[in-house]
A = this chain, B = another copy of it.
């Protein structure tokens, strides 16, 4: 979706995109932009900072409360201030006019890839094993082991914090949120169960206890 008031530019952009097998939609009505965006639900937005009625940065800021749709900011001036603001408001990339069409296409491709793989972060490898944390399955060679929901939450948190100490409180928070935890021991039991499953495929002592501090996946 192209959000740009200079029609010459937007039609040029549209052609460029369609020649490269993207489907382009040009936003015409700038009075109800946010709703239009959410209605169309595009895969990516090219957003000019200078559009009528609403400032592009403010629009981005509002959009980010509602959606993660990737946004590439297009600025007329190569101004550091604009860049700074766009990035902090959640743009996925930015480009300054006049832009090189090839670079623009690359950036679009990159942003789409980045956001798509982030959505699908299906598999993370840990040593020789693969953890599909959409399905909660650990694979090693031909062996597959299913994790339960709790085991999955713990393991993916540990994986994302490899080599860092993860406190018991952190784990309890992500498992049972802010509700006063039913029982301190519930976590210990769940850790124990996860350890047993890891042991089944030959991973003993990978979750290390740091007494008084927490756990660490080494």
Contact = CB atoms under 8 A, between A and B. Distances in A.
A195 interface: no
A106 B87 contact: yes
A210 interface: no
A102 B80 contact: yes
Contact size class for A?
Answer: 35 or more
A188 interface: no
Contacts of A162: 38, 41, 67
Given A40-B163, A103-B83, A136 B149 contact: yes
Interface of A: 38-41, 65-68, 80, 83-84, 87-88, 90, 92-93, 100, 102-103, 106-107, 109-110, 113-114, 117-125, 127-128, 133-136, 149, 153, 156, 160, 162-164, 174
